[in-house]
Amino acid sequence: MTVPLGRVTPVVRVAPAKLNLTLAVMGRRPDGFHALHSVMATLDLADRLAMGPAFGPEDRLHVVGDGSGPVPDLGPVEDNLVLRAIRAARQALRAGGDDRPLPALAVRLEKRIPVAAGLAGGSSDAVAALDGALEAWGAGDLLDPEARAAVAGSLGSDCPFFLAGGWAAVEGRGERVRPLPPPRGEAPGVLLVTPSVSVPTPAVFERYAAGVRPAGGAALASSTHLAGELQAGLSTARLLERAGVLASANDLVPATVALVPELVAARRALARLLERPVGQSGSGPTLWALSPSKADALGDAVIVRAALADGLLSLPGDGPPFIAAAALVGGSATAPS
Ligand code: ATP
């Protein structure tokens, strides 16, 4: 759409969460980041961004929750990835020689993805804000895919993945993204359980770097094998047969549980209750259990909530856990709702 110079078109963006089905850490790079191999997929659990003119000199952000609890604490507003993404978009356009007015934007961010949970909600918000800002200014065609990828990469390691979303094998520190076909058949479901404990990603990588890591390279073998199988046309049923292998293919688990030892018992208890392997997404603390469909995952959520209410399951944390059923649908962070 052509937007008159200096005008802002209101836009809406959906920013999906991601799930790590595998996560292999392959060593530290000279730049200090760890090199990874991970098979990731976007979920239908998503934040929502509405963007429009700020009617003032500064970009503004208003964060709301999903109505079920308090508004999540995202830290200092000026550090928020949404505002950083808008600033980065402006800078990239200026660096590319564009001198059109780029008015301040106001963003309403509806947070549905739990924060610091290993689901990369912040990174997804950043990519949605980057894309939304460009469209709002009518400048979507002024940043080519390489320039967009560079801006996304500067905002966070998970950001390049969200440019396309879907299923992908992600390598390097996250900048190499190889799209994969989703499993054949119905989209797999997943139960997400995020105990209310603090597990900052940098602290987990510090523990890993200090030697708190699994022996052997099983996660890397499982991760590359899964990528190959998906590429060859794996079905959802076959993917579920591999749930046990995938649940143990996350090299960050020892570092995560070094920070919160109670997660070991929580994960075992969940696996016993559901009679299913339970994995960890990213640096945690979100735990996942795959199922044949979202409907099945909704059933799992009922079982877990009932077990918690009846005292048959206890999870660590100073508040109630986040429990949600989702589908591994493979949407993109840039798709309007
Ligand atoms: P990652 O594994 O990429 O660190 P995560 O799922 O563990 O992701 P996020 O929810 O993406 O964690 O947020 C990590 C931190 O980033 C939070 O502690 C928060 O202070 C900060 N942050 C900045 N902007 C946002 C945002 N829009 N949404 C969530 N967190 C944000």
Assess whether the C-beta atom of 116 lies below 6 angstroms from ligand 1. Answer: yes
pLDDT tens, residue by residue, 181-211: 999 999 999 999 999 999 999 999 999 999 9
Q: What angle do CA 108, 163, 111 make, to 5 degrees?
A: 30
**Closest CA to ligand 1's atom 11:** 122
Q: Which atom of ligand 1 is nearest to the CA of 157?
A: 3
Question: Could you give the count of Cα atoms lying within 13 Å of 36 in the half-sphere of its Cβ?
Answer: 29
pLDDT tens, residue by residue, 283-336: 999 999 999 999 999 999 999 999 999 999 999 999 999 999 999 986 554 545
Q: What angle do CA 274, 46, 120 make, to 5 degrees?
A: 80
Helix boundaries (H) for 96-169: 121-136, 145-155, 159-164
CA of 75 to the centre of ligand 1 (A): 9
**Which two tokens mark 146?**
């390489």
Mean pLDDT confidence for 113-120: 96
Assess whether the C-beta atom of 199 lies below 6 angstroms from ligand 1. Answer: no
Global pTM? 0.94
CA distance 294 to 316: 26
Assess whether the C-beta atom of 82 lies below 6 angstroms from ligand 1. Answer: yes
- Kindly tell me the sign of the dihedral angle through the C-alpha atoms of 240, 242, 244, 248: negative
Assess whether the C-beta atom of 125 lies below 6 angstroms from ligand 1. Answer: yes
Pocket test for ligand 1, best of 60, 74, 194 (most atoms within 8 A of CB): 74
CA distance 79 to 254: 30
Assess whether the C-beta atom of 118 lies below 6 angstroms from ligand 1. Answer: yes
| pLDDT of amino acid 336 | 52
| pLDDT of amino acid 146 | 92
CA distance 160 to 333: 10
Residues acting as catalytic residues: 18, 158
Nearest to 165 by CA among 207, 124, 119, 104: 124
To the nearest 10 degrees (0 to 180), the angle between helices 145-155 and 121-136 is: 140
CB 91 within 8 A of CB 45: no
